[in-house]
């Protein structure tokens, strides 16, 4: 028997904490706009096409919203997902990297506000340092 562990380290949010604020109407509209070639029946998130054909997770969808590609996602292997910013290696840096923690949190909150009904300042407060692990 073998175990696999991976670190989940960076700044971000646990999406479970934001679930009560998810706005399905915003999500449905945005997903359909971003994926015009995919036909979704009914509520996008309850559709197998979302989690099979379009995205592996809701966290991956959040990364796709941000055109700058500076955010990432992680899961702990037990169904908990994180939307995150992890510092890039010097050879990975893009011109769009945030210049400060404050800027990064603001940019992350901008993405999250596209699908969650939660005040901007509350989103900023929910973006914290994450240092945990995943395993299976």
Q: Is residue 2 part of a domain?
A: no
Considering the chain, what percentage of its residues have pLDDT values greater than 70? 96
Q: Is residue 22 part of a domain?
A: yes
At residue 117, the pLDDT reads: 96
- Does the structure show a pLDDT above 90 at 40? no
- Does the structure show a pLDDT above 90 at 127? yes
- Is pLDDT larger for residue 58 or for residue 96? 58
What mean pLDDT comes out for the span 60-70?
87
Domain count, the chain: 1
Distance (Å, rounded) from C-alpha 88 to C-alpha 39? 35
pLDDT digits (tens, 9 = 90+) for 68-122: 788 999 999 888 999 999 887 777 777 788 889 999 999 999 999 999 999 999 9
For residue 65, what are the domain limits?
Answer: 7-135
Q: Is residue 60 part of a domain?
A: yes
Distance (Å, rounded) from C-alpha 55 to C-alpha 78? 18
At residue 2, the pLDDT reads: 58
Q: Is residue 86 part of a domain?
A: yes
Q: Is residue 1 part of a domain?
A: no
Given a contact cutoff of 8 angstroms between Cβ atoms, the answer to whether 73 and 59 are in contact is yes
- Does the structure show a pLDDT above 70 at 3? no
Distance (Å, rounded) from C-alpha 6 to C-alpha 82? 13
Distance (Å, rounded) from C-alpha 106 to C-alpha 12? 11
Q: Is residue 32 part of a domain?
A: yes
Averaged pLDDT of the chain: 87
């Amino acid at each position: 028997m073998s175990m696999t562990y991976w670190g989940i380290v960076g700044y971000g949010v646990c999406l479970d904490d934001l679930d009560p604020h998810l706005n399905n109407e915003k999500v449905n509209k945005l997903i359909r706009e971003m994926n015009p070639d995919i036909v979704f029946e009914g509520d996008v998130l309850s559709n197998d096409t979302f989690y099979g054909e379009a995205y592996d997770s809701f966290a991956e969808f959040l990364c796709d919203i941000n055109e700058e590609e500076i955010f990432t996602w992680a899961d702990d292997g037990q169904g908990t997902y994180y939307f995150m910013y992890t510092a890039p290696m010097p050879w990975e840096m893009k011109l769009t990297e945030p210049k400060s923690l404050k800027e990064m949190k603001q940019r992350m909150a901008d993405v999250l506000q596209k699908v969650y009904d939660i005040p901007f300042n509350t989103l900023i407060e929910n973006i914290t340092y994450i240092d945990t692990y995943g395993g299976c």
